[in-house]
Chains A and B, each alone.
Chain A
């Protein structure tokens, strides 16, 4: 690193490469922001910058005609995703702790099953799930989405959490036990604080996965009772039958991106590596 820093030419190259990547990554976001600020006639123009900034699209979805559709969807999304994330994190914390620390029969099966579930194509189970949910009355309810979201988030959470737990020196837990802690106290007072960065990372991952889901959202809901934002966007309509609702959709997309950005910025400090540094010989 020191050598790289001392070389101005290399530093410049790093900056250029970094700028290109940031530009590439942020261009779609900028495009959506630009779209959300245009009037319907302006959107038809083939240009990047808006001809004139208008807040009409935001007004439309927050206080205007699309208000009911969007705000209820936002409420559903936030509620369902937070509950699903919370359950996923708690469950996967315990599961991952057991996998990382204990030796029990079937440990490998749990891990491979979790991986298999995580890579299983969602679309293939949507139809059976749709029929099942309709029969048992979970169709178009919050639990009806929370449960499938858990199937998406728990496996990946178990994998990330068990990786974090494996990094924590086991001696710390043994030391706590010798110091007079019960297994539960050792877990709560030593392991959980050290695993906190892992818990936050896992929580953010789980939140993203559930927040960005579209397939379950559109297939397992029918009304404003449970429809999340990504699905609700599909139901936006233009001012007339012949007009695409591009502006309102872009505005809604910008708004649903905000929680994700806020989440990362808030927890960024907690996702610090090297918290276990100094525990054992370093």
Chain B
């Protein structure tokens, strides 16, 4: 059990900063997720914590002790690799016992602890088998067994579920979550899968190009993203970004001029042009909106291009025209988020009772109380900045 503290960590590869000035405190017993698109430096950061990558500058403390110079074996951390890294020449039993054997523990203790770990992970039947004969999920569990058998200070996971099929992934996700809660061990978990990020983590650290964007609880990330990147990265389907010109009458969008409630507006000084961020579920078919809610939003007419009915929900795709400059910016953002939707369109979630049809004109309603405003140049969340401005106490979105 230990807390991990990073102060201004930097990792430089030949002039390119893979990890750029990251400061992050992970509390004892906390489940911290590092998330971001590929190449954002999250795996590098994890390897720096475990000691497989040297730290270019900055300080890494585990339990208050500086560990920058310590070899991996002296940091007492357990790691589960993306490809599991099981020892193919050893049985499952010996794979799990490996760290204990290295520590030269007595045989009885090794046996007791291996059997206990096997119990926890339901590997009792497989103890005498070699890794080659195991299924993906079993290999995954052996890798976890090797981690939990040692009473390590912290667990580090490097995309542990990315090699499993979808069904098994969901199952193992629950298992990891249960295990972590049961053992109460500090955990750092790297993933690019936002479902894992949102469901597993106590807190989630979003990274982009080696820079920490936001550290917050999953709920805060979803509801109050600090910038366009986080807003676009978290949530699936991702947040809609609607370009708008700032005028005296309100915000001029491709869907008409809207007037946002005061608490959604930030400091508009010097901004001629903003991006309105609206999650798919903030839209609704105007015909099914509750009358009590109707006044909180705005309605506009669009042509529905594609409808996806999924039973419990349905999505409508609504293309629109955007100024070239904005379109280019949104394209760039989409590329970085590894998103497919490269053209300007709204993805809106509709009530399943809605009877809209493809190709027809429909009236959509947008809940203006929930939208966010972003500065398209810096990407900053203007609504959040406005919040901070109004409230004397800043919100703890940047905790750590």
Which of A's residues lie within 8 Å of B, judged by CB?
Answer: 169, 171-172, 174-182, 185, 189-190, 193-194, 274-282
**Interface residue tally for chain B (C-beta within 8 Å):** 32
Q: B365 contacts the other chain (Cβ, under 8 Å)?
A: no
A279 contacts B86, C-beta separation under 8 Å: yes
Mask: chain B, 124-136; 1 = CB below 8 Å from A; 0 = not: 0000001111101
B102 CB, nearest partner CB in chain A, Å:
4
Q: B78 contacts the other chain (Cβ, under 8 Å)?
A: yes
A174 contacts B134, C-beta separation under 8 Å: no
B99: nearest residue on chain A (CB-CB)?
A: A179
Pick from B55-63, B69-77, B194-202 the stretch touching chain A: B69-77
Q: Which of B72, B84, B88, B163 counts the most chain A CB atoms within 10 A?
A: B88
B87: nearest residue on chain A (CB-CB)?
A: A190
B130 partner residues in chain A, CB cutoff 8 A: 278
B79: nearest residue on chain A (CB-CB)?
A: A178
If the complex has contacts A177-B72, A178-B72, A179-B98, are A278 and B132 also in contact, measured as CB distance less than 8 A? yes
Q: B245 contacts the other chain (Cβ, under 8 Å)?
A: no
Given contacts A179-B146, A278-B133, 16 further A-B contacts (CB under 8 A): A172-B87, A174-B72, A174-B81, A175-B85, A177-B52, A178-B73, A180-B73, A180-B99, A194-B89, A278-B130, A278-B131, A278-B139, A279-B87, A280-B84, A280-B86, A281-B139
Q: B397 contacts the other chain (Cβ, under 8 Å)?
A: no
B50 contacts A178, C-beta separation under 8 Å: yes
Mask: chain B, 249-265; 1 = CB below 8 Å from A; 0 = not: 00000000000000000
Given the complex of chains A and B, what is the CA–CA distance between A190 and B85 in angstroms?
A: 11
Q: Can you list 6 A-B contacts (CB < 8 A)?
A: A171-B81, A178-B52, A178-B72, A179-B98, A278-B130, A279-B85
Which of B's residues lie within 8 Å of A, judged by CB?
Answer: 50-52, 71-73, 77-79, 81-89, 98-99, 102-103, 130-134, 136, 139, 146, 150, 163
B98 partner residues in chain A, CB cutoff 8 A: 176, 179, 189
B78 contacts A276, C-beta separation under 8 Å: no
A274 partner residues in chain B, CB cutoff 8 A: 132
Q: Shortest 10 CB-CB distances between A and B: which pairs?
A: A278-B132, A280-B83, A175-B85, A278-B131, A171-B85, A179-B99, A279-B88, A180-B102, A281-B163, A180-B73
B131 partner residues in chain A, CB cutoff 8 A: 278-279
A169 partner residues in chain B, CB cutoff 8 A: 83, 85
B78 partner residues in chain A, CB cutoff 8 A: 178-179
B133 partner residues in chain A, CB cutoff 8 A: 278
A175: nearest residue on chain B (CB-CB)?
A: B85
B77 partner residues in chain A, CB cutoff 8 A: 178
A193 partner residues in chain B, CB cutoff 8 A: 89
Given the complex of chains A and B, what is the CA–CA distance between A275 and B71 in angstroms?
A: 29
B39 CB, nearest partner CB in chain A, Å:
19
